[in-house]
Structures are given as structure tokens and as C-alpha cells.
Amino acid sequence: MPAELIEGHAAAAVSGHLGPTAGRFTHLDDALSVLDTAQRDGLAIVTGFGPTNAPTAGTLSVMLGAVELQRRLEAPMTVVISDLGAWNSRNVPWPALIRVRDQMSSFLIELGLDPRTAGLRSHLDHDNLIRAGRVARYLSRADFQQHRESLLELYADHGLLGSEIGVVVDSLYTVADVLGPFDSGASRVLMVSGMEEAYFTDLARLVLHRQADAGELSLGWDGRIGALYFRVLEGLAGYPKMSKSIPASSIHLNMTPDEIAEQVLSDDGTSQTALLSAIELSSGWAVQDVEAARRACAERTERPGPWLEIRREFCDTFNAFAHTWRRCAP
């Protein structure tokens, strides 16, 4: 089932389930049936992050959204920091991945993730590694060729990708993450991610359907997978996504205040709408303050002063998050 834009009746329904958090999502894929409040028992949420570098504003926006979603739905959540997946699919040294992984775990809790109802783990997880090995039999090479990350070519052009097999292994681990709650008795799984990761949902559904039809080779899972996709934060300098792997496209939490100011206060025309999106999604500002930022951005040609002041305030906000990030360093 292809992901659909959240608009009209669907937008009202998602808002009814998620309240203000709904504004962070742009697409849904069978999410409403999974979120059916008449069947709240059996619901589980899965999301995750790659520890290839410090969080960008885009990653921070998803982290803030995950915390809001946990509070709103009050359902069991699994948050995966994909160390082994990143090792296989990106060219990043293992010690760096481990350092960022541990820092991310602490940072998520600082942002408000409740470890009492959220399972926070990495891919160094015995059960998930076994699950990945068990689900591999239901997928073919053609499945991985058909369902793949939309930005693979961009990452390849920047020399960031691991081997072809490594990318497949990464996908296999994450498919196992999505299917994990079925091992614990869940009947409905809500996958929450960026739109560029929708292929994980597609692959997980293939496994779920194929194992159900496999007779004595079935894993015994019976359920449904829905997905909500976060609004993708466009990159600075005209890049399609703010990626921690492409420095020119992003601001991230390892930057110094001067480096953050250089990016945020730049008058580069290709970056202004991306900066507004960063404010909307990763500032944590009140609704009225975000609306003031939208007005200032729209009027920036005629009245540049207010937009400059808004960006200065965002520098302060982002630096506060950066300070928390540094404090979480192992």
C-alpha cells in the first residue's frame, strides 16, 4: 500500500489521534487502522536513528516528535539506534559509531523519552539478530532492489555508502526491528520514520505476509503494519535533505556557536526555506512563536530585520540543544 499525503479526512483523523503532534507528519500508510482507538491493546510503535554523526536539525526534529508521540499514544515504543546497520551501510569507523550511539541514548532521555515505556536499544541485540536471520528466508535480492532508499545515489556520489551487501544487511536488521513487537505478542505495529525510509515498512510487510502463507515454515505472526512518515527537513544550500553525512546541507549538535551562526545567519537564498522548516520542526517553540517566524520569513525581502532576529533566536535555541548533547557525551 503506497504512502498517501495526510490531507482532508485523513488529516482530521490523524489529528484526532495525535493532537498537535500530527503536524510533524506528511504521509501515512495504513496508519489509521493501526491507530484505531477501539483496539488500543496490542499496539506497538517502532522508530530509530542512525549514529553516523551528531544529530542534525532534521534528526533532532524526529527525536522531539518521537518523544511527543510516546506521550500522546501511551503505547509501548521501541527506539533503535542502528549501530550495526550504520557500520554496514555507511563508511564510518566503528569507535565513532559507538560513541555517538551512547551519546544519542542519553540525549533522547534528556529530551524526555521515558525509558519505562520505551525500549531503547541498538542493533547489538541478541533477539533482533536472531530475528534478522529468521526473516531473511522470506526476502529475495529483487525485493531489496525494488525497495531501497531514495537517497542511495546521493550518498554514493559522496563516497558514504558501504558495500552492496552491507546495505542489504542494514535493511535486514531494520526490517527485523519493525517486526520485533510481533515476537512479543503485538497485533499492530506503527512504524514511525522519515519518508525516505518507507521501504523498510514495505519490506517488513512482505515478510509478514509471506511467513503467514508459509505453512509449517511460518513464524506464527499475525498482525498489521502501519506507518507515519515525518516531514523531511530539506537541506541547506539546496540539498533535498538535511543529512549529517553531507556537512554543507545541515546544522548539527557538534557545531560550535560560531559554526551554527555561520549557517543559520547566512543570507544564501537557497537556504532560507530550509531554515524556516528547521525552526518549525526542531526548535520546540510555542505555536505563536513559530507563526511569527513564518511571517518574518515570508516578508524577509521587504523587511529583513525581523527574519534576522528570528534566526538569531533560533541560534540560541539550537545552541541550548547542542549544550545538552555535549553534556551527554560518554
Domain check: are 246 and 169 in the same one?
no
Enumerate the H helices of the chain as residue ranges.
8-18, 31-34, 57-73, 83-89, 94-111, 126-135, 141-146, 152-157, 164-183, 198-212, 257-264, 272-282, 287-298, 304-327
Does 158 have pLDDT greater than 70? no
Does 102 have pLDDT greater than 50? yes
What's the pLDDT score for residue 14?
Answer: 87
What's the pLDDT score for residue 38?
Answer: 59
Q: Taking a C-beta distance cutoff of 8 angstroms, is the pair 224, 30 a contact?
A: yes
Domain check: are 10 and 138 in the same one?
yes
Domain boundary among 230, 248, 278: 230
**Hey, what's the cell of 109?**
532521555
The CATH number covering residue 85 comes to: 3.40.50.620
DSSP 208-233: HHHHHTSGGG------EEEEEEEPP-
Domain check: are 34 and 122 in the same one?
yes
Whose cell is 554496514? That residue is 88
Range of the domain at 170: 4-230
Domain boundary among 195, 215, 230: 230
- Tens digit of pLDDT for each residue in 17-48? 888 888 899 999 999 989 876 566 899 999 99
Average pLDDT over all residues of the chain: 90
Q: How far is 105 from 92, CA to CA, in rounded Å?
A: 19
What's the pLDDT score for residue 307?
Answer: 97
Domain check: are 201 and 261 in the same one?
no
What's the pLDDT score for residue 157?
Answer: 44
- Tens digit of pLDDT for each residue in 274-328? 999 999 999 999 999 999 999 999 999 999 999 999 999 999 999 999 999 999 9
What's the pLDDT score for residue 243?
Answer: 77
Domain check: are 245 and 116 in the same one?
no
Q: Which of 33-42, 67-76, 206-215 has the highest mean pLDDT?
A: 206-215
Q: Taking a C-beta distance cutoff of 8 angstroms, is the pair 264, 257 a contact?
A: no
Domain check: are 192 and 107 in the same one?
yes
Average pLDDT over residues 66-84: 94
- Number of separate domains in the chain: 2
SS3 156: helix
- Tens digit of pLDDT for each residue in 231-284? 888 899 888 888 766 778 889 999 999 999 999 999 999 999 999 999 999 999
Domain check: are 117 and 75 in the same one?
yes
Domain check: are 65 and 167 in the same one?
yes
What's the pLDDT score for residue 149?
Answer: 59
Plot region of 200 (φ>0 → left; ψ -120 to 50 → alpha; else → beta): alpha
Domain check: are 165 and 312 in the same one?
no
Domain check: are 309 and 202 in the same one?
no
Q: How far is 14 from 20, CA to CA, in rounded Å?
A: 10
Domain check: are 253 and 298 in the same one?
yes
DSSP 42-56: TEEEEEEE--SSS-B
Domain check: are 96 and 118 in the same one?
yes
Domain boundary among 183, 215, 230: 230
**Hey, what's the cell of 240?**
533535498
Name the percent of the chain lying above pLDDT 70. Answer: 93
pTM confidence score:
0.89
